[in-house]
Amino acid sequence: MSDLLLPPELRYADIIEKRKNEDGSELSILNLGPTHPATHGIFQNILLMDGERIVEGEGTVGYIHRAFEKIAENRPFYQITPLTDRMNYCSSPINNMGWWMTLEKALNIEVPKRAQYLRVIVMELARIADHIICNSVLGVDTGALTGFLYVFQYREKIYEIYEEICGARLTTNMGRIGGFERDWSPLAFEKLNILLEEFPPIWQEFENLLARNRIFMDRTIDVGPISAEKAISYGFTGPNLRAAGVDYDIRVMQPYSSYEDFEFDIPVGKSGDTYDRFCVRNAEVWESLKIIKQALAKLPEGPYHADVPDYYLPPKDEVYHNMEALIYHFKIVMGEVPVPVTEVYHPVEGGNGELGFYLVTNGSRTPYRLHFRRPCFIYYQAFNEMVKGQMLSDAIATLSSLNVIAGELDA
Whole-number Å distance between alpha carbons of 244 and 379:
13
Cβ(299)–Cβ(113) below 8 Å:
no
Reference 305, options 201, 178, 163, 157; nearest CA is 178
Q: Pick from 23, 35, 212, 214 the residue near other proteins by CB under 8 A.
A: 35
Minimum Å gap between C-beta 65 and other proteins is: 4
Q: Pick from 169, 182, 298, 316 the residue near other proteins by CB under 8 A.
A: 169
Whole-number Å distance between alpha carbons of 101 and 363:
18
Length, in residues, of the chain: 411
Q: Pick from 373, 390, 396, 399 the residue near other proteins by CB under 8 A.
A: 373
Minimum Å gap between C-beta 410 and other proteins is: 6
Reference 202, options 276, 146, 126, 266; nearest CA is 146
Q: Phi, psi (5° rounding) for residue 248?
A: -95, 120
H or E segment to which residue 53 belongs: strand 53-60
Number of residues that bind other proteins (CB under 8 A): 71
Task: Enumerate residues 317-346 that contact other proteins by CB under 8 A.
Answer: 342-345
Task: Enumerate residues 61-100 that contact other proteins by CB under 8 A.
Answer: 61-67, 69-71, 73-74, 82-83, 85-86, 89-90
Q: Pick from 55, 209, 228, 360 the residue near other proteins by CB under 8 A.
A: 360
Task: Enumerate residues 171-190 that contact other proteins by CB under 8 A.
Answer: 171
Task: Enumerate residues 279-318 that contact other proteins by CB under 8 A.
Answer: none
Task: Enumerate residues 192-251 that contact other proteins by CB under 8 A.
Answer: 230, 232-235, 248
Q: Pick from 27, 42, 174, 289 the residue near other proteins by CB under 8 A.
A: 42
Minimum Å gap between C-beta 177 and other proteins is: 16
- Return the number of the residue (63 or 189) whose C-beta is nearest other proteins: 63
Asked if 121 is part of the footprint of other proteins (rule: CB under 8 A), the reply reads no
* Number of other residues whose CB lies within 10 A of the CB of residue 377: 17
Supply angle C-alpha 16, 20, 24, rounded to 5: 130
- Return the number of the residue (320 or 330) whose C-beta is nearest other proteins: 330
Asked if 53 is part of the footprint of other proteins (rule: CB under 8 A), the reply reads no
* Neighbouring C-alpha atoms within 13 Å toward the C-beta of 48: 20
Beta bridge partners of 56: 48
Whole-number Å distance between alpha carbons of 14 and 294:
60
- Return the number of the residue (175 or 375) whose C-beta is nearest other proteins: 375
- Return the number of the residue (171 or 400) whose C-beta is nearest other proteins: 171
Could you tell me whether strands 53-60 and 369-373 are parallel, antiparallel, or unpaired per DSSP bridges? unpaired
- Return the number of the residue (65 or 316) whose C-beta is nearest other proteins: 65
Could you tell me whether strands 44-50 and 53-60 are parallel, antiparallel, or unpaired per DSSP bridges? antiparallel
Whole-number Å distance between alpha carbons of 289 and 69:
34
- Return the number of the residue (16 or 71) whose C-beta is nearest other proteins: 71
Minimum Å gap between C-beta 255 and other proteins is: 11
Which amino acid appears at position 191 of this protein?
K
Minimum Å gap between C-beta 42 and other proteins is: 5
